[in-house]
Structure 1
């Protein structure tokens, strides 16, 4: 019998690439997203595409019940769904901050709760949580987003220890720069929240860096392949840092004291803003 995987946030980017690659490896894949129409290419590959709002508890319960009823098992959960809502901590409405935690943290935790009885019954399985290099570093105007990723990593570390006696592996995947919709969405939210007022100058410069087409951004398939490796390896690593700049960022964060890292971050931000401005000028 084929192994069964559930992948959230599968309408595009990392989620879509992961669903496709898992299917190629022989998995029965259930791909979840709010936009069913955007998953049509996955459906053509024989992937089960399900329209689900992952903040809807009843929908998550029904989804897991359906998977178990149709296949009799769950082997791998890939919590990939998430988004970045950038803006100054002072200016982001708490309702939006809570929404980001609902999507990036609580939905992932709820799916873990729902699949774990089935994984424990089999005495095996994988929970793969897609985090970010943003869980180990930070950026100005990204406080709430980074807070969700820090929280997801803390949750995953605790889960890993709790579930080890049950034969279940918990893995964190930490993408760096990847060609997805994330930068555009983050930049739009940043400008909507902090494009005017005391943080406007900073916000506009930073939004330009998010949307600039810098060279070397990795394909979502790079992250997808790491997820497939985590799903199939006999002894997966605890963390996979993949994508543009991921390993370098992790090393710099480990090496540098906080104040030194702050200075590097400010200098890097200024450089990227200057590059983005020059590119913008060259196009006009």
Structure 2
């Protein structure tokens, strides 16, 4: 499924956060959204998901404007992964993942054997089947993030939007989540994610969109888009972007002044 955005303006009510957004995301592509706090990333995501109405422009899936779609149809096509949450209710992990089937059920329907089978398959695919009977509120932050990804995938979406999926995770869990994002891409699922770490874009993204003050500053491959100049412009600090020989990507380091 292809997502296309044409001259999109977004915000809350009459308060415009951003405008002039134009991009296309191909099936199976990973697009990483980079930008400072308050730049409009989360508001843009809510607009792409149909949770906020556009203030201008169009959002289309396979050429059809989503403003005409029902909530159920949207939920069946677009999955959403929020930042890992501690949770309030002691649901089992299996039941949290099963909640992702809601978009595939009727209004008063209950999950059936096929829905349970999908949830179990997703748990095994993401290699967290051993967590199935654990209580969601009692597992680690990295494990909770993987469960939220599993919940989104249980709905069989063709596009998954992830809001800072590596936030607050330790180094190992960040690498595991990024690895799963690449595996989703290889399986033909489109992933759009935001992050504050440009290194992560080098590791998992096909293209990068730099969002600054509500507008796209740059859009292209990680190597072409993430440069010392663009990072200094959007973050206001000097940055060294150092290529890693033999790896095809780079690492970024701020240059702090005494």
After TM superposition, is the score higher than 0.5?
A: no
Q: Which has the higher contact order (CA 8 A, sep 6+)?
A: 2
TM-score by length of 1: 0.33
Structure with the largest fraction of helix = 1
TM-score by length of 2: 0.36
